[in-house]
Structure 1
Amino acid sequence: MNARLCFVFGGLLSVTLVSCVTHKASPAALPTTGFVSEETIDHACQVRTVRRRGTSGFEVLYEGRDAYLARLAVIEAAQKTLDLQYFIWRDDLIGTLMVDRLLAAADRGVKVRLMLDVTLGAQSEVRSAVLAAHPNITVAFFNPMTDMKGIFAGNPVPVIGEIDRMQCRMHNKVMIADGSIVIGGGRNLADGYFGAHRHYNMRDLDFIASGSVVEDSAKSYELFWRSPLTQVGDPQKLTKHDHEELRELRGKVGRKMRSLAKKNGTHLPHSMSRGEALQTLRQLAGRMVWAPYEFVADPPERMLRQTRTASPTSHSVEKAMKEADSEVVMHAAYFIPGDEMLTLFKGITDRDVEVRVLTNSLASIDGITAMSGIANRREGIVDSGVSLYELNAKAPSRKTYVMAPKPTRMGMHTKGFVADNTVSFIGSYNMDPRSKYINTETGVIVRSPAFAARLKASLEEDFKKENSWHVTRDQDGVIIWTGQKPGKPPAVHHSDPGVTFGRRLQCWILRLLPWEDFL
Structure 2
Amino acid sequence: MLRLFGSQRGFTPTPLLAPFLLAGLLLAGCASLPENFAREESPKLDTSDTQLARAFNARAADHPGQSGAYPLGQGMEALAARVILARAAEKSLDVQYYIWHGDESGRLLLKELLDAADRGVRVRLLLDDLGVGAVNDDVFVLLDAHPNFSVSLFNPIASRDARAAGLLADPKRLNRRMHNKSMTADNTVTVVGGRNIGDEYFALNELFNFADMDVLAIGPVADAVTASFDAFWNSPAAFPIAAFHAEGASPEQLAKAREKLNVQVADTGAKYYEAMQATPLSLELQSQELEFHWGRITALHDLPDKVQDERESEVLLSQLGGLLGQVQEDLLIISPYFVPGKDGTRALVAAARRGVRVRVVTNSLASTDVGAVHAGYKSSRRELLEGGVELFEMMPRLDADAVKSSGFSFSGSSGASLHAKMFVFDRQRVFIGSMNLDPRSVQINTEIGLLIDSPELAARLHGQLLGSIESACYAVVLEPRDAGKPAGRKELTWIEDRDGEKVRYDKEPQTTFWQRFGVGFIGLFPVDSQL
Q: Do Structure 1 and Structure 2 share a fold, with TM-score over 0.5?
A: yes
Q: Distance in 2 between matches of 1:312 and 1:336?
A: 18
CA distance change for structure 1 residues 260 and 268 in 2, over 3 Å: closer, same or farther?
Answer: closer
For residues 426-445 of structure 1, the C-alpha deviation after alignment (integer angstroms, 9 at most, x for no partner) is 11110001011101111111
* TM-score for the superposition, normalised by structure 2: 0.80
Question: Does the 8 Å contact 2:187/2:222 carry over to 1?
Answer: yes
Which of 92, 96, 100 is 1:85 aligned to? 96
Which of 71, 75, 80 is 1:60 aligned to? 71
Hey, what does 2:417 align to over in structure 1?
Answer: 411
Which of 333, 347, 350 is 2:350 aligned to? 347
CA distance change for structure 1 residues 106 and 390 in 2, over 3 Å: closer, same or farther?
Answer: same
Q: Distance in 2 between matches of 1:63 and 1:236?
A: 38
For residues 53-80 of structure 1, the C-alpha deviation after alignment (integer angstroms, 9 at most, x for no partner) is 9521111111111111111111111111
Q: Distance in 1 between matches of 2:94 and 2:56?
A: 14
Q: Distance in 2 between matches of 1:85 and 1:284?
A: 27
Q: Distance in 2 between matches of 1:315 and 1:105?
A: 37
Question: Does the 8 Å contact 1:331/1:459 carry over to 2?
Answer: no
Specify the SS of the correspondent of 1:244: helix
Q: 2:480 matched to 1:468?
A: no
- Write the letter of the residue equivalent to 1:408: S
Q: 2:371 matched to 1:371?
A: no
CA distance change for structure 1 residues 320 and 127 in 2, over 3 Å: closer, same or farther?
Answer: farther
CA distance change for structure 1 residues 508 and 182 in 2, over 3 Å: closer, same or farther?
Answer: same
Q: Give the superposition deviation at 1:258.
A: 4.7
- Write the letter of the residue equivalent to 2:117: A
Hey, what does 2:242 align to over in structure 1?
Answer: 234
Question: Does the 8 Å contact 2:80/2:282 carry over to 1?
Answer: no
Hey, what does 1:296 align to over in structure 2?
Answer: 300
Q: What runs of 5+ residues in structure 1 fail to find an aligned partner?
A: 1-8, 20-52
- Write the letter of the residue equivalent to 2:298: E
Q: 2:109 matched to 1:106?
A: no
Hey, what does 1:134 align to over in structure 2?
Answer: 146
Q: Give the superposition deviation at 1:398.
A: 6.9
Between Structure 1 and Structure 2, how many residues are aligned? 461
Q: Distance in 1 between matches of 2:516 and 2:336?
A: 19
CA distance change for structure 1 residues 443 and 144 in 2, over 3 Å: closer, same or farther?
Answer: same
Hey, what does 1:26 align to over in structure 2?
Answer: none
Question: Does the 8 Å contact 2:76/2:276 carry over to 1?
Answer: no
Which of 183, 188, 192 is 1:175 aligned to? 183
Q: Distance in 2 between matches of 1:320 and 1:182?
A: 25
CA distance change for structure 1 residues 278 and 387 in 2, over 3 Å: closer, same or farther?
Answer: closer
Q: Sequence identity, in percent?
A: 30
Hey, what does 1:447 align to over in structure 2?
Answer: 453
Q: 2:310 matched to 1:306?
A: yes
Q: What runs of 5+ residues in structure 2 fail to find an aligned partner?
A: 1-46, 58-63, 481-488
Q: Distance in 1 between matches of 2:248 and 2:426?
A: 60
Q: Distance in 2 between matches of 1:438 and 1:379?
A: 26
Specify the SS of the correspondent of 1:216: helix
Q: Distance in 1 between matches of 2:151 and 2:526?
A: 37
Question: Does the 8 Å contact 1:55/1:212 carry over to 2?
Answer: yes
Q: Distance in 2 between matches of 1:123 and 1:165?
A: 19
Q: Distance in 2 between matches of 1:279 and 1:142?
A: 36
Question: Does the 8 Å contact 2:141/2:249 carry over to 1?
Answer: no
Question: Does the 8 Å contact 1:402/1:408 carry over to 2?
Answer: no
Q: Distance in 2 between matches of 1:177 and 1:60?
A: 17
Question: Does the 8 Å contact 1:391/1:412 carry over to 2?
Answer: yes
Q: 2:276 matched to 1:287?
A: no
Hey, what does 1:32 align to over in structure 2?
Answer: none
CA distance change for structure 1 residues 158 and 360 in 2, over 3 Å: closer, same or farther?
Answer: closer
Within-5 A mapping of 1:86-235: 86-121=97-132, 127-148=139-160, 164-234=172-242
Question: Does the 8 Å contact 1:76/1:277 carry over to 2?
Answer: no
Q: Distance in 2 between matches of 1:237 and 1:515?
A: 37
CA RMSD after TM alignment: 3.2
CA distance change for structure 1 residues 96 and 126 in 2, over 3 Å: closer, same or farther?
Answer: farther
Hey, what does 1:46 align to over in structure 2?
Answer: none
Specify the SS of the correspondent of 2:498: coil
* TM-score for the superposition, normalised by structure 1: 0.81
Question: Does the 8 Å contact 2:52/2:186 carry over to 1?
Answer: no
Q: Distance in 2 between matches of 1:481 and 1:14?
A: 49
Q: Give the superposition deviation at 1:170.
A: 0.4
Q: Distance in 2 between matches of 1:284 and 1:366?
A: 39
Hey, what does 2:30 align to over in structure 1?
Answer: none
Question: Does the 8 Å contact 1:145/1:166 carry over to 2?
Answer: yes
- Write the letter of the residue equivalent to 1:71: R
Q: Distance in 2 between matches of 1:213 and 1:172?
A: 16
Q: Distance in 2 between matches of 1:448 and 1:349?
A: 24
Q: Distance in 2 between matches of 1:403 and 1:343?
A: 30
Q: Give the superposition deviation at 1:308.
A: 3.0
Q: Give the superposition deviation at 1:505.
A: 2.5
Q: Give the superposition deviation at 1:417.
A: 1.8
Which of 460, 474, 482 is 2:495 aligned to? 482
CA distance change for structure 1 residues 244 and 289 in 2, over 3 Å: closer, same or farther?
Answer: same
For residues 185-209 of structure 1, the C-alpha deviation after alignment (integer angstroms, 9 at most, x for no partner) is 1100011111111211010011110
Which of 503, 508, 513 is 2:515 aligned to? 503
Hey, what does 2:328 align to over in structure 1?
Answer: 325
Hey, what does 1:251 align to over in structure 2?
Answer: 259
